[in-house]
């Protein structure tokens, strides 16, 4: 959906595939917030919301009656910045202590240092036990931001904290591709790439059902046999020297193996935490929101945070968007929900889910009368996506990075099986993580095949 400025692997592929001209900015700033309990369910600009917080507005503070005195008068960004300052200090102390080392070694050492100190906390337990937040401060932070998942390991949420920060989000340099992010995977199979195209290296419609060694093939090093169901209903097989598993653990659990992996690898496959996500897109006949944003001096686009079931809405970037050149229509990510909200929204019928999302947006911006403009909808319900195993992406829980990440990146079956997928990387939930893990596997397979060290 978006590409941070420092995701160098993805950006290198975008450059090599000739897609850089398609890059344009992704609007990260939240422009509006809707809290149903505030002043007759009044929609606020995010600037107004922050001013009410710093001004200790009695109506707004009534929604958070048990805020401690030291928690009042601060924005969500300010509360978070103060809470994590101890972590920031420890990071830079560790970084500076590695005198003479290069930049990458210093960063690696600093991250390992704070992982040792704080990996035992979830985001919620860090706020409660380290930052000493009240329950109402936690509630304020949750309702005032997008992408807050309290059961994430703290280290994970701290790494991607810019997703839940107006100030940091606008500085992250996020971009998107004009014709959609699927331009990256499509580029790998583009026939115009000639011999570098992977179009004939992929078996489409193949659902893997089992992996193992074929004991009937005789002596010597037995090949690994992968069995899969074809679209015609047949069970077919592929034999190979090496196997790379680049699917989520949640999907991998449904594949039968002839023998187990190493005990800790099996633990990781069973235990590593994934996040459920449901997204709902709505297509409108006209981009009504541009008038609303303009009337409130909020530009033409941005995010909306609310306490309704849709939780987070993203209006598409207008400036530089070639999709808008000859059309008044527009598509809104009406709902981007996590965990229980994702399950609730995903459990609805398509018709009910579409109607609920459209009505929630109409409730936030009643002056736009947007219900009459809805044309189409589409949803991605990861809790019901069987090929993804019911989950969207990996985000470690407490202690899981320390316990499992190293094992998740190791080989198995005596250097015959390798593990890719964004879960086996330092950059969970991002395309960058998938590329990172895939390139590591390339090095490992090469090392195994040539008897060298990866």
For residue 314, the domain's CATH number is 3.90.660.10
Integer Cα distance of 390 and 382 in angstroms: 5
pLDDT in tens, 244-260: 999 999 999 999 999 99
> What pLDDT is attached to residue 263?
97
Question: How many domains are contained in the chain?
Answer: 3
Integer Cα distance of 63 and 368 in angstroms: 27
**CATH code of 151's domain:** 1.10.405.10
Integer Cα distance of 20 and 210 in angstroms: 40
Task: List b or e across 193-232, with b for residues whose CB sees 16 or more CB atoms inside 10 angstroms.
Answer: eeeeeeeeeeeeeeebeebebeeeeeeeebbbbbbbeeee
247 domain residue, yes or no: yes
pLDDT in tens, 89-98: 999 999 999 9
| Residue 399 scores a pLDDT above 90 | yes
Structure tokens at 32: 């509006």
Please check whether residues 76 and 144 belong to one and the same domain.
yes
Q: Is 446 exposed, middle or buried (0-12, 13-18, 19+ CB in 10 A)?
A: exposed
Please check whether residues 264 and 283 belong to one and the same domain.
no
108 domain residue, yes or no: yes
Please check whether residues 295 and 397 belong to one and the same domain.
no
> What pLDDT is attached to residue 330?
95
Integer Cα distance of 352 and 355 in angstroms: 5
Q: Poorest-confidence range of 4-18, 169-183, 353-367?
A: 169-183
Please check whether residues 367 and 440 belong to one and the same domain.
no
Tell me the mean pLDDT in the region 11-29: 94
Please check whether residues 250 and 396 belong to one and the same domain.
yes
Please check whether residues 137 and 267 belong to one and the same domain.
no
| Residue 212 scores a pLDDT above 90 | yes
> What pLDDT is attached to residue 170?
78
The helix (run of H) or strand (run of E) holding residue 51 is helix 46-54
> What pLDDT is attached to residue 297?
96
**CATH code of 255's domain:** 3.50.50.60
230 domain residue, yes or no: yes
> What pLDDT is attached to residue 171?
81
Integer Cα distance of 166 and 441 in angstroms: 36
| Residue 128 scores a pLDDT above 90 | yes
Q: What is the average pLDDT value for the chain, to the nearest integer?
A: 94
pLDDT in tens, 349-381: 999 999 999 999 999 999 999 999 999 999 999
Domain range for 409 is 203-274+391-450
Please check whether residues 243 and 325 belong to one and the same domain.
no
Integer Cα distance of 403 and 270 in angstroms: 13
> What pLDDT is attached to residue 42?
93
Residue whose entry in the numeric block shows the structure tokens 């303009």: 294
| Residue 447 scores a pLDDT above 60 | yes
Please check whether residues 52 and 155 belong to one and the same domain.
yes
> What pLDDT is attached to residue 217?
57
> What pLDDT is attached to residue 166?
80
DSSP state at residue 223: P
Q: Strand order in 330-338's β-sheet?
A: 43-45, 30-34, 302-306, 312-315, 330-338, 277-284, 374-381
Residue finishing a domain among 114, 146, 166: 166
15 domain residue, yes or no: no
How distant, in Å, are the alpha carbons of 204, 309, 355 from that of 137? 49, 21, 32
- The whole-angstrom distance between residue 312's C-alpha and the CA centroid of its chain comes to 14
Integer Cα distance of 199 and 180 in angstroms: 20
* Nearest by Cα to 90 from 48, 70, 118, 51: 118
> What pLDDT is attached to residue 213?
85
pTM: 0.92
Structure tokens at 361: 């947006």
Residue finishing a domain among 384, 407, 428: 384
Structure tokens at 196: 């570098």
Residue finishing a domain among 384, 417, 434: 384
Please check whether residues 259 and 362 belong to one and the same domain.
no
pLDDT in tens, 279-331: 999 999 999 999 999 999 999 999 999 999 999 999 999 998 988 988 999 99
68 domain residue, yes or no: yes
315 domain residue, yes or no: yes
| Residue 454 scores a pLDDT above 70 | no
Integer Cα distance of 178 and 260 in angstroms: 44
> What pLDDT is attached to residue 402?
95
Structure tokens at 225: 């046999």
Please check whether residues 294 and 439 belong to one and the same domain.
no
198 domain residue, yes or no: no
Please check whether residues 352 and 421 belong to one and the same domain.
no
| Residue 448 scores a pLDDT above 90 | yes
Tell me the mean pLDDT in the region 390-396: 93
Please check whether residues 209 and 291 belong to one and the same domain.
no
DSSP secondary structure letters along 255-312: SEESS---HHHHHHHHH--EE-EEEEEEEESS-THHHHHHHTT-TT-EEEEESSTT-E
Report the percentage of the chain scoring pLDDT > 70. 98
179 domain residue, yes or no: no
């Amino acid at each position: 959906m978006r590409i941070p400025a420092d995701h160098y692997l993805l950006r290198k592929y975008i450059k090599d595939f000739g897609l850089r001209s398609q890059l344009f900015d992704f609007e990260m700033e939240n422009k509006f917030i809707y809290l149903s309990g505030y002043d007759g369910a009044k929609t606020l600009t995010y600037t107004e919301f922050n001013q009410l917080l710093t001004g200790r507005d009695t109506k707004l503070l009534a929604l958070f009656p048990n805020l401690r005195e030291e928690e009042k008068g601060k924005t969500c960004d300010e509360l978070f910045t103060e809470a994590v300052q101890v972590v920031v200090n420890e990071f830079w102390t560790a970084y500076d202590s590695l005198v003479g080392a290069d930049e990458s070694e210093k960063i690696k050492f600093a991250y390992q240092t704070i992982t040792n100190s704080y990996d035992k906390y979830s985001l919620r337990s860090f706020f409660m036990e380290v930052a000493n937040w009240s329950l109402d401060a936690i509630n304020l932070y949750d309702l005032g931001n997008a992408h807050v998942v309290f059961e994430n390991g703290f280290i994970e949420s701290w790494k991607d904290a810019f997703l839940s920060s107006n100030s940091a989000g606008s500085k992250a340099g996020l971009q998107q591709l004009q014709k959609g992010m699927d331009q990256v995977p499509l580029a790998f199979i583009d026939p115009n790439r000639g011999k570098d195209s992977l179009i004939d290296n992929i078996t489409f419609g193949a659902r893997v059902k089992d992996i193992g060694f074929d004991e009937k093939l005789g002596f010597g090093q037995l090949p690994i046999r992968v069995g899969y169901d074809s679209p015609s209903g047949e069970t077919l097989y592929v034999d190979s020297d090496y196997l790379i598993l680049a699917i989520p653990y949640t999907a991998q659990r449904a594949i039968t193996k002839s023998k187990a992996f190493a005990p800790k690898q099996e633990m990781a496959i069973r235990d590593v935490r994934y996040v459920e996500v449901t997204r709902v897109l709505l297509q409108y006949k006209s981009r009504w929101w541009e008038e609303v944003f303009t009337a409130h001096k909020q530009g033409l686009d941005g995010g909306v945070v609310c306490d309704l079931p849709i939780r987070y809405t993203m209006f598409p970037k207008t400036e530089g968007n070639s999709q808008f050149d000859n059309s008044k229509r527009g598509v809104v990510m009406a709902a981007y929900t996590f965990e229980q909200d994702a399950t609730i929204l995903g459990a609805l019928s398509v018709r009910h889910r579409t109607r609920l999302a459209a009505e929630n947006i109409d409730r936030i911006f009643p002056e736009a009368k947007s219900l009459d403009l809805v044309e189409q909808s589409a949803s991605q319900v990861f809790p019901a996506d069987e090929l993804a195993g019911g989950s969207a992406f990996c985000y470690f829980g407490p202690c899981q990075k320390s316990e499992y990440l190293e094992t998740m990146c190791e080989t198995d079956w005596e250097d015959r099986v390798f593990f890719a997928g964004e879960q086996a990387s330092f950059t969970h939930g991002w395309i960058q993580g998938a590329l990172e893990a895939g390139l590591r596997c390339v090095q490992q397979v090469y090392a195994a095949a040539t008897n060298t060290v990866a």
